[in-house]
Amino acid sequence: METKVKSACDTCTHFNADGLKKMGIQTDNVDFVIALAGNPNTGKSTVFNALTGLRQHTGNWPGKTVTRAEGGFEYNKQKYKLVDLPGTYSLLSTSEDEAAARDFILFGKPDVTVIVADANRLERNLNLVLQILEITDKAVLCLNLMDEAKRNHITIDERTLSRDLGIPVVATSARFSEGIIELIHTINEVANGHIICKPHRIKNIPSNIENAVKTLSVEIEKEFPNIPNSRWIAFRLLEGDTEIINALRAGELV
């Protein structure tokens, strides 16, 4: 795959395009594990292919990826394993694909979660983004399908979006390999701790629930200091999610 000089990043001294190697299905001895999550039909598999050089079959219909695909790439001598999760609208229900995506982000403990969102339908996509940000604090938003957004006369203030969400935002058109280099660079920065995320936490909740969540998450943090997602666990406990209760008992959440 050729790397054309297209963006400012290519000429930037911090970016080393020669350092990028697509490793296909080789995923041995990796330094970082990256999860690829997002709504159905936002181009996750296309992003996956662009990063790994694999040709995971893509198709224009929601629900195409039912099995978890894995691939690798190497950047600046660090090896990355990329896991393409099934597309879901939410993580709150219990269907097989949603559980698969949620369990990987929760138990697989990826070093970075890349959330692929459709720039044309950002509001609907944010539903999943905000849920993922409750679970993990190392995430990158990949604002994909920018070419279509441009055609639809939609402009997105990426900088404000990034500030509101508390995570880096990268605009891409994965079908045309645009923005992929920036995405890799950002993933690298987050994985190595050069960028520290301060993810958005859900705000518009009635005060009685907010208080209950606070009380519970304080207790959870007492038991498990440094846990990144005490609030999310509190949500699930209040919901009565038996899987999470069992995982908590088994100590799988830390």
Partner 1 sequence: MKNKNIDSIIELSNELRWQIGDDFHDNLTEGIYADAAQIVADTVKVDSSKKRFRLDRQIDKIVTSKTFGFPIMFLILATVLWLTIIGANYPSSLLAQLLLDNVHPILKSGAAAINMPWWLDGFLIDGVYLAVAWVIAVMLPPMAIFFPMFTLLEDFGYLPRVAFNLDSLFRKSGAHGKQALTMTMGFGCNAAGVVATRIIDSPRERLIAIITNNFSLCNGRWPTQILIATIFIGAVVPSAFSSLISLIAVICIAVLGMGFMFGTSWALSKTLLEGQVSTFNLELPPYRPPRFWKTIYTSLIDRTMIVLWRAIVFAAPAGAVIWLISNVYIGNESVAAWTIHSLDGFGFLLGLNGVILLAYIVAIPANEIVIPTILMLTVSVTGIAGGAGAGVMFELDSVNATGDILRAGGWTLLTAVNLMLFSLLHNPCSTTIYTIYKETKSAKWTIFASIMPVILGFIVTFLVAQIWRIIF
Q: Interface residues with partner 1 (CB under 8 A)?
A: 40-41, 55, 57-63, 66-67, 92, 95-97, 120, 122-124, 126-127, 130-131, 148, 152-158, 160-161, 164-165, 175, 200, 202-206, 208-209, 212, 215-216, 219-220, 222-223, 234-235, 237-240, 245, 248-249, 251
Alpha-carbon torsion (247, 64, 25, 192), positive or negative:
negative
Hey, how many other C-beta atoms are within 10 angstroms of the C-beta on 227?
15
CB of 138 to partner 1, least distance (A): 20
CB of 168 to partner 1, least distance (A): 14
CB of 15 to partner 1, least distance (A): 26
CB of 222 to partner 1, least distance (A): 8
Of 87 and 110, which has the nearer Cβ to partner 1? 87
Hey, how many other C-beta atoms are within 10 angstroms of the C-beta on 23?
19
Of 57 and 194, which has the nearer Cβ to partner 1? 57
CB of 201 to partner 1, least distance (A): 9
Of 12 and 25, which has the nearer Cβ to partner 1? 25
CA pair distance 170, 24, nearest whole angstrom = 23
Of 29 and 204, which has the nearer Cβ to partner 1? 204
CA pair distance 96, 88, nearest whole angstrom = 10
Strands 78-84 and 69-75: antiparallel
Of 109 and 200, which has the nearer Cβ to partner 1? 200
- Contact in structure between 131 and 88 (CB atoms under 8 Å): no
CA pair distance 82, 148, nearest whole angstrom = 25
SS3 (DSSP) at 142: strand
Give the full edge-to-edge strand order of the sheet including 32-38. Answer: 20-24, 69-75, 78-84, 32-38, 112-118, 139-144, 169-171
CB of 171 to partner 1, least distance (A): 12
Query: What are the φ and ψ backbone dihedral angles of 45, each rounded to 5 degrees?
Result: -65, -35
Of 120 and 136, which has the nearer Cβ to partner 1? 120
Of 12 and 160, which has the nearer Cβ to partner 1? 160
CA pair distance 199, 197, nearest whole angstrom = 6
CB of 26 to partner 1, least distance (A): 18
